[in-house]
Structure 1
Amino acid sequence: MKRNDKTFPLSDNVTVEKVSYKNRFGITVAADLYLPKDIDESKKYVALVIGTPYGGVKEQGAGIYAQTMAERGFVAIAFDESFNGESSGEPRHVSSPDIFTEDFSAGVDYLGTRPYVDRNKIGAIGICGSGGFALSAAKVDRRIKAIATASMYDMSRVKRNGWEDSMTDEQRNKYLDQLGEQRWKDFENGSPQLTPTFPAEIPEGLDPITSEFFEYYVAPRGHHPNSIGGFTITSDMSFMNFPLLTDLESISPRPILFIMGENAHSRYFSEDAYKMAAEPKELYVVNDARHIDLYDRKELIPFDKLESFFRTNLN
């Protein structure tokens, strides 16, 4: 096994190519294209577009998923969301529910125009925050024929309602007032201020959820210099105004697979989305797994389940 700019070893059974394409906003999306080493480009393959955990980049967890699915015979791309990683877009590190959702459809544009991809057999995988974006894209992009999420976060719900829906109307209005003030500051400064970025080392005394994320993003386990953790503060206005999972039942009859860890702090997002979705749907629990364990722990990520799900529903 060899390594390059990824946080994981590259497989000898796949080929990886850096590619790029524009979304409908004209932003250039950077992606890694993973192909089976023995691909026969005269044939048509099932393809997957795979989104990163929120704040992550394609060289981390999304790349692990894309590479492993390519080892199993799929064509797969892992992409950087607009404004982040190696994708274009100014100002840098904007977080946009609308554009991040569009990035999934742009991936379908790209895959469906490859001569070796069957454009009627394209699925999506969203990890953490991109799980919500993948589902949102599928609501309106019927070219996405099957959707799987892993450790899903609904970022619009977090921003609008607070963690575990704990934000009151008074607190929400106070935060919106702060965001309005921040817009004036950003305008006067000529550039937007970011939320705190990942530190160089893991500090002591962290709450359990932050500690878990830092275990992945800050420690050598998952650290990548393009994954800084910070977004523009005023990005939160879009999430508070753009509910991602409204009308989730409209995805039916296309199937959805929700994968969550037994011990994940985020499991309520998958459980609630599962209730909102219409059949066919499945909620799959990974024993002894936390939220971040479904980013990179290949012995826990249920790749057999993912393969059977997409083989069954895209063939």
Structure 2
Amino acid sequence: MPLPRYKQINTDVTPYYHCISRCVRQSYLCGRDSRTGINYEHRRKWIQDRLHKLSQAFAIDLCAYAVMHNHIHVVLHIAKGRADGWTMDEVLLRWRMFYKCPPLVQRYLENFDSVTAEEREELKSLSAIYRERLQSISWFMRMLNEYIARKANKEDECKGYFWERRFRSQAILDEKALASVMAYVDLNPIRAKIAKTLNNSHYTSIQYRLNAKRSNKVPKFLMPFDDSKKKLTESLPFAFSDYLQLITDTLNAERNGSTYKMPNLPNKLLNKLGMTKENWHLVTSNFETLFTGPVGCPEMMENFARCCQRACRPNVSNAQKYLS
């Protein structure tokens, strides 16, 4: 029986989560279906555009994503407290980007002076509900999957489920797990042989970051990496140059058939993470196989289980072996 979401997500322990949604049909979500010959490649753009739009409205940052043939990966960061700084008007406007609001909200947004004191209290209650939803992973994934399912069903002229009923989520509990899951997501299309290089890995966060880097721009819709020059309050806890060097060396080593002979990195990111090259390769190649639930060092996994009132701690032995 699936665990309730409150036992899978706890922002008091960690703000990072890896989410996966899989298509329930035999046909492809994206790409060319070898069985029917129909090309669904354009749907990848639907998903990327939707992810970017959601990241603009929600108090949730996109760390990494990859749109595969029959599933998608996203690594999300819940910016706890960010939504508390939004005004009521800002919350209502953000929610209206996706849903047709009640007539009272529509009237208020068209003319701020058109509501009574009682109606303003009702607006405050609605904005409190919307504020909570705009920092919820469940609502983020719902608004992603529901939108894509409706478009795909309309295109296919059919009804019914497009995705599996529930998306899968994994709590990411420390820097080792975060770097590993991002590398797993960024390298997934290449390992699945739907792309050959990071630069031509279309509709992925790593390609989006590389395109922005070539244009000397900050990736608009993605959470930035730690850059000492910019002093950002919220950023991924390592430098992009170090991370890019690490996944590039990982990819090159795999292609050369010398996984364990990765060159010494000048940024020493693996040393910072405290992982061996062997463990790094095993975890980033088999992330979903090794870990079916929360991911991090054994101590963090035990703390997460305790805070979420979970009786079991799956894959603690793998965490002890590869991440301790």
TM-score by length of 1: 0.29
The structure, 1 or 2, with the larger RCO (C-alpha pairs under 8 Å, 6+ apart) is 2
Which structure dedicates a bigger proportion of its chain to strand? 1
Structure number with bigger Rg: 2
TM-score by length of 2: 0.29
